[in-house]
């Protein structure tokens, strides 16, 4: 399995290992990414999707959203939009400000507010525009440019789109093989990743439904992809990328204990407490708690209790007590 681990050369960047953290708006914030990177095994991280329109209008939130985390290198900033010139301007702002090491173009987001003006996965309905966006961004910057796409909007078009991305100078393509119309339903079609890999000569990153280290290995085996990208799986097990790396490297991995997962949750709660405005803290803490409080007796009761809290400080003290209790019961070190 070690044969699947490799260093990717992307422009001047050397990316290792070839296991990437997927961009997930509202989840893979700078703080969460920092915590995940510290666990190891992750070769490349991405910002949440950033609006090119907001960026060129100097939107403060967008600048904040694309900040690089501590020790985060290499780091890709992902942008979305429908206007090639504005996408080019946004990419230039990112390059000039040193915000990222790579620009990723979003051609996958299915959200209504993104597709309604022709951005995200809607780019797959207009391949001429898709092409103009990639070539314009490429022309404006010297950083490498990549594309993350779904298999199509209503019908599969990934082979045509993949060829266009390659011919327009993209350094790699990430494929999440679901149509926009499928949102997150059913299973992603890994066969499409294999077909894309066979039809282009730039690296292909396989994404979709990797929920265990074994899934990660299967993705490499079944598709021949050059790298894998993991998204939602990390919200149930923050150690998933680290464990997938260990599994690929040595053939075995140690599943994280509940204590270890709650330790990660405590770190996230602490980051939220230190960095978020007071009015946002409680909601954010509840959301992350709902991801990580799983897999032990009474977990759903614990989640319900957290949901009833009105003060962020009470959530932190409750999770700290829970941690001590589980640590004792489970005999965690
Ligand atoms: C809550 C959420 C937010 C997401 N935000 C983004 C985003 O900002 N940019 C993007 O390209 N994909 C986004 N995605 C899609 C993921 O990057 C990934 O392609 C998808 O979840 C499939 O991978 P998975 O099965 O490993 O989760 C998001 C997915 C989820 C669930």
Beta carbon of 48 within 6 Å of any ligand 1 atom: yes
What digits encode the pLDDT tens for the residues 36-45?
999 999 999 9
8 Å CB contact between 229 and 174:
yes
Interior angle at CA 86, CA 91 and CA 101, nearest 5 = 5
As a whole number, mean pLDDT of residues 9-32 equals 97
Beta carbon of 256 within 6 Å of any ligand 1 atom: no
Domain span including residue 285 = 258-330
pLDDT of residue 296: 86
- Look at residues 38, 332, 20 and name the one whose alpha carbon lies nearest to residue 207: 20
Total count of residues recorded for the chain = 333
Q: What is the rounded distance in angstroms from the CA atom of residue 120 to the CA atom of residue 192? A: 19
Are residues 200 and 307 located together in one domain of the fold? no
What digits encode the pLDDT tens for the residues 203-260?
999 999 999 999 999 999 999 999 999 999 999 999 999 999 999 999 999 999 999 9
- Look at residues 108, 209, 84, 227 and name the one whose alpha carbon lies nearest to residue 157: 108
Q: Which position has the higher pLDDT, 233 or 294?
A: 233
Write the CA distances from 301 to 268, 290, 296, 297, 316, integer angstroms.
21, 11, 11, 9, 16
Count CA atoms closer than 13 A to 213's CA, side-chain side.
Answer: 22
Residue where a domain stops, chosen among 198, 230, 250:
250
Among 20, 22, 184, which is best to mutate for testing ligand 1, by the most ligand atoms less than 8 A from CB? 22
Q: How far is the CA of 56 from the centre of ligand 1 (A)?
A: 24
Q: What is the rounded distance in angstroms from the CA atom of residue 219 to the CA atom of residue 70? A: 30
Are residues 271 and 242 located together in one domain of the fold? no
As a whole number, mean pLDDT of residues 110-114 equals 97
Q: Give the burial class of 170: count Cβ atoms within 10 A of its Cβ; 0-12 exposed, 13-18 middle, 19 or more buried.
A: buried
How high is the mean pLDDT of the chain?
96
Are residues 166 and 31 located together in one domain of the fold? yes
Beta carbon of 93 within 6 Å of any ligand 1 atom: no
- The residues with which 146 forms a beta bridge, in sequence order, are 104, 172
238-248 as b/e, with b when 16 or more CB fall inside 10 Å? Answer: bbbbbbbbbbb
Give the CATH number of the domain where residue 196 resides. 3.20.20.70
Per the structure block, which two tokens stand in for 200?
Answer: 């282009």
Q: How far is the CA of 216 from the centre of ligand 1 (A)?
A: 16
Are residues 117 and 216 located together in one domain of the fold? yes
Are residues 179 and 239 located together in one domain of the fold? yes
Residue where a domain stops, chosen among 199, 222, 250:
250
Q: What is the rounded distance in angstroms from the CA atom of residue 126 to the CA atom of residue 56? A: 23
Beta carbon of 106 within 6 Å of any ligand 1 atom: yes
* pLDDT of 59 strictly over 80: yes
Are residues 213 and 295 located together in one domain of the fold? no
* pLDDT of 297 strictly over 90: no
The CB density around residue 36, as the number of other CB atoms within 10 Å, is 24
What digits encode the pLDDT tens for the residues 72-92?
999 999 999 999 999 999 999
Are residues 318 and 222 located together in one domain of the fold? no
Are residues 310 and 223 located together in one domain of the fold? no
Beta carbon of 95 within 6 Å of any ligand 1 atom: no
Are residues 240 and 315 located together in one domain of the fold? no
Which residue has the CA at smallest separation from atom 19 of ligand 1?
A: 176
Q: How many domains does the chain have?
A: 2
Are residues 215 and 322 located together in one domain of the fold? no
pLDDT of residue 333: 62
- 42 a catalytic residue: no
Which residue has the CA at smallest separation from atom 6 of ligand 1?
A: 24
Residue where a domain stops, chosen among 250, 267, 291:
250
Q: What is the rounded distance in angstroms from the CA atom of residue 268 to the CA atom of residue 279? A: 17
* pLDDT of 302 strictly over 70: yes
What digits encode the pLDDT tens for the residues 151-170?
999 999 999 999 999 999 99
- Look at residues 193, 191, 219, 190 and name the one whose alpha carbon lies nearest to residue 204: 193
**59 in helix, strand or coil?**
coil
Are residues 245 and 263 located together in one domain of the fold? no
Are residues 234 and 265 located together in one domain of the fold? no
Beta carbon of 111 within 6 Å of any ligand 1 atom: no
What digits encode the pLDDT tens for the residues 305-317?
999 999 999 999 9
Among 25, 44, 158, 211, which is best to mutate for testing ligand 1, by the most ligand atoms less than 8 A from CB? 25
């Amino acid at each position: 399995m070690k044969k699947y681990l490799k260093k990717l050369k992307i422009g001047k960047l050397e990316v290792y290992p070839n296991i990437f953290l997927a961009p997930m708006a509202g989840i893979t914030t700078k703080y969460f990414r920092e915590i995940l990177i510290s666990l190891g095994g992750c070769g490349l991280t991405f910002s949440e999707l950033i609006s090119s329109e907001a960026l060129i209008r100097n939107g403060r939130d967008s600048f904040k959203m694309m900040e690089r985390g501590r020790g985060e290198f290499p780091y890709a900033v992902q942008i979305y939009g429908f206007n090639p010139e504005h996408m080019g301007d946004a990419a230039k702002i990112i390059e000039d400000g040193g915000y990222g090491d790579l620009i990723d173009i979003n051609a996958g987001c299915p959200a209504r507010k993104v597709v309604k003006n022709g951005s995200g996965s809607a780019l797959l309905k207009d391949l001429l525009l898709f092409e103009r966006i990639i070539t314009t961004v490429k022309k404006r910057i010297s950083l490498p440019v990549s594309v993350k796409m779904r298999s199509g909007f209503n019908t599969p078009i990934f082979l045509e789109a993949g060829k266009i991305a390659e011919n327009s100078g993209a350094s790699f393509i990430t494929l999440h093989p679901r149509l926009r119309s499928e949102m997150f339903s059913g299973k992603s079609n890994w066969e499409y990743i294999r077909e894309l890999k066979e039809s282009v000569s730039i690296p292909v990153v396989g994404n979709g439904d990797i929920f265990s280290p074994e899934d990660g290995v299967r993705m490499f085996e079944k598709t021949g992809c050059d790298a894998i990208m993991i998204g939602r799986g990390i919200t149930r097990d923050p150690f998933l990328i680290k464990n997938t790396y260990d599994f690929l490297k040595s053939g075995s991995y140690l599943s994280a204990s509940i204590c270890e997962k709650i330790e990660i949750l405590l770190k996230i709660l602490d980051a939220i407490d230190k960095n978020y405005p007071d009015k946002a803290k409680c909601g954010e803490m509840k959301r992350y708690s709902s991801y990580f409080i799983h897999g032990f007796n009474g977990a759903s009761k614990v989640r319900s209790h957290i949901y009833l809290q009105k003060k962020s400080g009470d959530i932190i003290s409750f999770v700290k007590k829970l941690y001590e209790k589980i640590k004792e019961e489970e005999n965690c070190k």
